[in-house]
Amino acid sequence: MGQFPITRTATPKARPSDDSLAFGKVMTDHMFLMNYEEGKGWFNPRIEPYGPLSLDPATSVLHYGQAIFDGLKAFRGDDGRIRLFRADRHAQRFDRSARIMSMPPLPVDLIRQSFDALVSVDADWVPRKAGTSLYLRPTIIATDVMLGVHPAHSYLYFLILSPVGSYYKEGVKPVRILASDSHVRAVRGGTGEAKTAANYAQSLAGQQDAAKAGYTQVLYLDGVHRKFLDEVGTMNIMVRIGDEVITPPLAGTILDGVTRASAIELMRDWGLKVQERAISIDEVMQAGRDGTLKEMWGTGTAAVVSPVGTIGYKGEDVLINGGTTGEVTQRLYDAITGIQYGRTNDPHGWTSLVPEMAEAG
Ligand SMILES: Cc1ncc(COP(=O)(O)O)c(C=O)c1O
């Protein structure tokens, strides 16, 4: 682990009880910061007490949204040790997002080391109750103070941490999703495969409409034909028709989900047939009607898998697997969480132990 200057907080916060944790509402005591200036590169990596940033109102990110982030988790295993899940892959995706958003290449190793360093400083904040975790939110914002539209010459990297509660406090629960014929998330040549702020700002209206119509999430269809599945909310989507699992390909409009990649690898390990190909909403609805649509689920860091119990499209609802969690969905959930909490072996080496600080304070 890299050695970074650490300024410890003089006023540690009271830690919330594991039972009270939700998602992203409480932040830990420290944050990791690093600056970039053109000609100088990335400099001054450091850990400081968590606190507000001071930004000039003309800072470019506030106007044109040149911002990227990622999201990954640390888990306290049944053995008490802390593991990060696929930290290298998240750091690489963060770099990919930076390139798409015209940011300078990232020092991927340093970013990766910042994960270990900050989690190690705030190790006490990793909750212990079953299903809980510590969420890591690495972010980069453009910090030029100037109103011209151009790629910035200066940036700020910050990493913050938030203890989060179990996504499934009452067990894995299938959701109702609405395939939208009015909202589009991304198009080829755009920013769909970057984890950038604007993608989320523009997704809010579709989410609101779905909620008004009585659904939990929006299933986005492709922006050109309005026909092929893209993503569901902030998750990748997978469908099991007969004995085949189908998931949309990485063709520039969807995020290269780390859970998606992990699920595909596991299912192939298990001998299941997985196809990464375009799949139309008509094919899904028809399979729903004729009973060959066995399961459908979303994948993502927050929920791991989220079973789809009902899919709605153009006024028709199709019930999937009687509205209950399917067999492959449950198996993926058990396998991935087993690896994350160190309950089962980790054949692909997806987890890494966070070095514990020799001394605290
Ligand atoms: C738009 C979008 N798609 C998919 C995902 C799932 O990706 P991952 O499995 O890496 O969390 C996320 C969440 O990160 C997301 O925001």
- pLDDT tens-digit series, residues 99-121: 999 999 999 999 999 999 999 99
**Structure confidence at residue 301 (pLDDT):** 98
pLDDT, average across residues 59-85: 97
Q: What does pTM read for this prediction?
A: 0.96
Determine if ligand 1 sits within 6 Å of the CB of residue 114.
no
Cα–Cα distance for residue pair 258/260, rounded to 1 Å: 5
CA torsion sign for 42, 197, 354, 85 is negative
Burial class of residue 18, CB neighbours in 10 A (0-12, 13-18, 19+)? middle
What Å distances lie between residue 207 and 203, 211, 217, 284, CA to CA? 6, 6, 6, 21
Of 23, 70, 90, 234, the residue with max ligand 1 atoms within 8 A of its CB, to mutate for a pocket test, comes to 234
87 and 228 housed in the same domain:
no
What Å distances lie between residue 316 and 169, 208, 233, 290, 305, CA to CA? 30, 19, 20, 14, 24
Determine if ligand 1 sits within 6 Å of the CB of residue 306.
no
Domain that holds residue 229: 175-340
**Structure confidence at residue 172 (pLDDT):** 83
Does residue 235 contact residue 316 with C-beta atoms inside 8 Å?
Answer: no
334 and 270 housed in the same domain:
yes
Q: Is the pLDDT of residue 340 over 60?
A: yes
Q: Is the pLDDT of residue 243 over 50?
A: yes
pLDDT, average across residues 186-193: 94
Task: Out of 166, 187, 220, pick the residue that ends a domain.
Answer: 166
Determine if ligand 1 sits within 6 Å of the CB of residue 120.
no
- Taking the centre of ligand 1 as the mean of its atom positions, its distance from the CA of residue 322, in whole angstroms, is 27
**Structure confidence at residue 306 (pLDDT):** 96
Determine if ligand 1 sits within 6 Å of the CB of residue 90.
no
**261 found inside a domain:** yes
Q: Is the pLDDT of residue 328 over 90?
A: yes
Please identify, by atom number, the ligand 1 atom nearest to the C-alpha of residue 199. Answer: 1
**6 found inside a domain:** no
Nearest CA to ligand 1 atom 1: 234
User: DSSP per residue over 128-181, as a string?
Assistant: -STT-EEEEEEEEEE--B--S-S--SEEEEEEEEEEE--TTTTS---EEEEE-S
**360 found inside a domain:** no
Number of independent structural domains in the chain: 2
